[in-house]
């Protein structure tokens, strides 16, 4: 071979090596680094702190089934807002260290529009979707694509002390009256606990009262919150502060649960997960808790829980999308969702599990509540939801702490939401 030919070959070799290296270090590439047969791949699953054994059990069951995939759980703070901020920082910087992320239902439009997720249309097939509840499936769909798989759904519920209250209230007025009449019984100190901190949980509690009093927030692309029904709905929340612990304006889900579980409150607004913890062996209120649908306000036709829930998506920058998918497929399968239902007390998104004997034995109320759960009402669906939520969080919290009236609060929110919609071109 001539020296010239050798040189050309050498340069070609160098170019090829540099191309391969640059491809594999380019973290915008989502190509899986397929492991050899016995190689163990570790994926990182990022999720909020779990007070139940569910996450641990799911990972154990998955690793047993897929010995070649290890799951590292990256635990984030409990609050959805803090989790959201962690993801926004990481994903907007192209961070590839997270493979699977647990996503709140409210994030799909924002994350999809920002192009941070792998579309899952081919993996989460039509057939799989048809076995799930329609609301959660709709919540992972945006712009004609599916971006995540629903892991569990959520809907607000009312917990009450059945050793004190024989029939749960149908309306919020009844609830307030019952609380005032019965506080002090069985060592209780407060009428109700709920989520009054300035964060997403407060938005859920407030919207639940607004919806349950016949109000709405946005319809189509019109802001519809400025109505007497919404103002009166929010007024209930302000009135609840008077029968709640002084610290309620700083409470998140777990603060409320702890106070209720210690036997200090008659009522609690929370999500279904609390049920299994309230009935655990070391719980002071074990066997003393009843559960009822969210009451309605005086102007409302029916109590209307807010739709919550969590989905699993794949970071677009993940280096292990295939292994990440295997994990999602398992966690959202019947086997995985059963673990979540039994160990975590979270509502399945698979319709079949609402007929599963073991699941119903542990969560007996699910069969009766099915109709209520599936009508849970979403929060506004928009890539600009974080801005909308910020305005609601700030204003609702000011209302709770007595800085502004319910009427002023609703006016402020209506103005902010109209501006956000106008800016977003809607």
Single out the residue of 43, 157, 164, 204 in contact with ligand GLC (rule: CB under 6 A).
204
| Residues touching ligand GLC, count (CB under 6 A) | 13
Single out the residue of 271, 275, 325, 369 in contact with ligand GLC (rule: CB under 6 A).
271
Q: Does 200 bind ligand GLC (CB under 6 A)?
A: yes
In the window 118-177, what residues touch ligand GLC (CB under 6 A)? 154
Secondary element (H or E) of residue 146: strand 145-146
CB of 107 to ligand GLC, least distance (A): 9
CA-nearest of 135, 301, 304, 293 to 207 is 304
Alpha-carbon span 252 to 298, nearest angstrom:
27
In the window 74-93, what residues touch ligand GLC (CB under 6 A)? 80
Alpha-carbon span 10 to 107, nearest angstrom:
50
CB of 205 to ligand GLC, least distance (A): 9
Closest-approach residue to ligand GLC (CB): 308
Single out the residue of 50, 99, 104, 416 in contact with ligand GLC (rule: CB under 6 A).
104
CB of 152 to ligand GLC, least distance (A): 8
Residue found under tokens 């109700």: 192
> x/- site string to ligand GLC, residues 284 to 323, per CB under 6 A?
------------------------xxx-------------
CA-nearest of 367, 381, 377 to 154 is 377
CB of 9 to ligand GLC, least distance (A): 59
CB of 250 to ligand GLC, least distance (A): 14
Residue found under tokens 């995939």: 69
CA-nearest of 308, 295, 233 to 267 is 295
Alpha-carbon span 195 to 207, nearest angstrom:
12
Tokens of 151: 């892991």
Single out the residue of 201, 245, 293, 321 in contact with ligand GLC (rule: CB under 6 A).
201
Alpha-carbon span 138 to 129, nearest angstrom:
10
CA atoms within 13 A on the CB side of 375: 12
With contacts defined by CB under 6 A, name the span among 108-116, 133-141, 200-208, 332-340 that binds ligand GLC.
200-208
Q: Are strands 265-270 and 307-314 parallel, antiparallel or unpaired?
A: unpaired
Alpha-carbon span 294 to 212, nearest angstrom:
8
In the window 33-52, what residues touch ligand GLC (CB under 6 A)? none
> x/- site string to ligand GLC, residues 243 to 262, per CB under 6 A?
----------x---------
Nearer to ligand GLC, 81 or 99 (CB): 81
CA-nearest of 154, 156, 157, 152 to 339 is 152
CB of 71 to ligand GLC, least distance (A): 21
Task: Report the interface residues with ligand GLC, using CB under 6 A.
Answer: 80, 104-106, 154, 200-201, 204, 253, 271, 308-310
């Amino acid at each position: 071979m001539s020296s010239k030919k050798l040189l050309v070959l050498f340069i070609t070799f160098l170019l090829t090596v540099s191309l391969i290296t640059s491809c594999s270090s380019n973290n915008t590439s989502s190509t899986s680094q397929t492991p050899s047969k016995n190689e163990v791949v570790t994926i990182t699953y990022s999720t909020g702190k779990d007070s139940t054994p569910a996450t641990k059990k799911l990972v154990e069951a998955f690793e047993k089934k897929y010995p070649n995939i290890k799951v590292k759980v990256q635990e984030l703070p409990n609050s959805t807002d803090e989790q959201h901020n962690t993801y926004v920082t990481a994903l907007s910087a192209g961070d590839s260290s997270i493979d699977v992320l647990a996503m709140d239902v409210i994030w799909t439009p924002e994350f999809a529009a920002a192009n941070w997720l792998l579309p899952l249309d081919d993996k989460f097939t039509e057939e799989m979707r048809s076995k799930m509840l329609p609301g959660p499936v709709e919540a992972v769909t945006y712009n004609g694509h599916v971006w995540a798989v629903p892991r569990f759904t959520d809907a607000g519920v009312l917990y009450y002390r059945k050793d004190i209250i024989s029939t749960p209230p149908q309306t919020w007025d009844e609830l307030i009256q019952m609380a005032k009449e019965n506080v002090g019984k069985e060592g209780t100190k407060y009428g109700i606990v709920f989520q009054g901190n300035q964060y997403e949980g407060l938005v859920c509690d407030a919207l639940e009262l607004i919806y349950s009093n016949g109000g709405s927030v946005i319809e189509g692309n019109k802001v519809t919150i400025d109505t007497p029904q919404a103002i009166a709905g929010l007024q209930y929340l302000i009135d609840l502060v008077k029968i709640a612990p002084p610290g309620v304006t700083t409470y998140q889900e777990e603060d409320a649960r702890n106070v209720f579980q210690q036997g200090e409150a008659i009522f609690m607004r929370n999500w279904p997960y609390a049920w299994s913890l309230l009935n655990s062996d070391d719980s002071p209120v074990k066997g003393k808790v009843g559960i009822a649908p969210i009451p309605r306000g005086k102007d409302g036709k029916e109590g209307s829980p807010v739709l919550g829930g969590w989905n699993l998506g794949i970071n677009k920058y993940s280096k292990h999308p295939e292994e990440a998918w295997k994990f999602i497929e398992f966690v959202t399968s019947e086997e995985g969702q059963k673990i979540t239902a039994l160990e975590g007390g979270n509502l399945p998104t698979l319709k079949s599990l609402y007929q599963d004997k073991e699941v119903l034995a542990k969560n007996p109320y699910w069969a009766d509540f099915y109709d209520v759960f599936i009508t849970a009402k979403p929060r506004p669906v928009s890539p600009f939801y974080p801005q909308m939520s910020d305005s609601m969080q700030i204003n609702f919290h000011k209302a709770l702490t007595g800085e502004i009236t319910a009427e002023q609060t609703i006016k402020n929110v209506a103005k902010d939401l109209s501006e956000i919609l106008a800016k977003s071109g809607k």
